[in-house]
Structure 1
Amino acid sequence: MFKNLIYLAILLGCLSFNTFNWPKILSEKVNKSISSTFETEEFSLNEVLVNDQIKTSLPVPINNNNLFIIKTGEIIIGYAYVGKAPSMKKEFDYIIMFDENLIIKKSKVLIYREMHGKQIGSQRWLKQFAGKSVNDSLELGKDIAGISGATISTTSMTKATNEVLYAIKILHNNEIL
């Protein structure tokens, strides 16, 4: 009996430490971003399951831990994509949150690992993506203003957003979202 309780405690500790195999800090930032964007503490993340045939047609990877339906109770309030994009020498983690109509509600850089280009994490710059839909195609310098000193990161975030929008469009057209 005592042995079973120890195993249960270890299992629960592992589950609470790491949501969807993310590092703890990333999990906390994802949850905080969703909570503040959708103005709720009570939500669940439900993985979007995509068959292998459709996955091969997508411009971004979709797996068990990066595309979610956000629900409060049984009501869908939005969607979230958590991804990585290249910066000058490393990668940064980002989240794109969509409302229930698949329009970008907010984008956020969650973890930026370099000194150069970190200006892309400012909400002033990221708010340019809000309101964009699966029918939009974004171009840096035209639809999205660049940032001096962050050329690689702004290009990367704009490209990543375009790819996510296109993937969401494919999933919507295939009645997955």
Structure 2
Amino acid sequence: MFGFNQTLFWYNDLKDDLMKRIFAIFFLLIFSLNLLAEMPKFNSKVEKELLKHFNLNSINTQEIIELSGGNDLFLKTSNGEKELGIVVLTSAKGRYDMFDYMIIYNQNMEIEFIKILVYRSEYGSEITAKRWLSQFYSRQEDNLKYGSDIQAISGATFSAGSLTNNINRINKILNEYKSD
């Protein structure tokens, strides 16, 4: 059978393993609670922007499940009786960090509005400027070229190029959805 030293060694291994598991569960719980705490802020920010854009007191959204996935959330918007368009919540990568933004499309699948919701990086924040973002408005093509169709920004090359490429990708998805 086991000697005293072997039993003590086995007990210490078990205790260490149990402590590691408790620490991992505790860490995951704290991390999960932190994510849940941030979600309502993000959703209320989106809702506030939608209400402001459409000049409404309330708005209905419904996920387009067949389009949503990964970092993209596609939502149909309506004011109850009338469909207003589609909102896409997505993110793109700047040079170092991801940034979150939303695109509002009208019923013709043309971009009406873009808002950078969260920009995490110290550099490249010039892409949050309304005037620069307005270059995308009324566009629906999926082959916009950064530097020619979309004005380049000194100091925000990575973020602006990434945003342009991501908008091309979203436009392509919506153009295919519209043609189905």
Same fold (TM over 0.5): yes
Runs of 4+ residues over 2 Å off in structure 1:
61-65
Structure 1 pair 24–70 and aligned structure 2 pair: CA distance change class (3 A): same
User: Number of paired residues?
Assistant: 146
In structure 2, the partner of 1:154 is 160
Identity %: 28
Q: Secondary structure at the match of 1:23?
A: helix
Q: Deviations for 1:124-166, whole angstroms, at most 9, x for unmatched residues?
A: 1101111102x45210111100110000000011001100000
In structure 1, the partner of 2:82 is 75
Q: Secondary structure at the match of 2:155?
A: coil
Give the alignment partner of residue 54 of structure 2, picking from 32, 38, 43.
38
In structure 2, the partner of 1:47 is 63
Alignment gaps of 5+ in structure 2? 1-35
Q: CA RMSD in A?
A: 2.2
In structure 2, the partner of 1:123 is 130
Q: Higher relative CO (CA 8 A, sep ≥ 6), structure 1 or 2?
A: 1
Structure 1 pair 100–167 and aligned structure 2 pair: CA distance change class (3 A): same
Alignment gaps of 5+ in structure 1? 1-17, 56-60
Identify, as 1 or 2, the structure richer in helix.
2
Q: Deviations for 1:55-83, whole angstroms, at most 9, x for unmatched residues?
A: 6xxxxx53697100000013101110000
- TM-score calculated relative to the size of structure 2: 0.74
8 Å contact from structure 1 (residues 47, 65) kept in 2: no
Tell me, in whole angstroms, the C-alpha distance in 1 between the residues paired with 2:79 and 2:111: 19
Which structure would you say has the larger Rg?
2
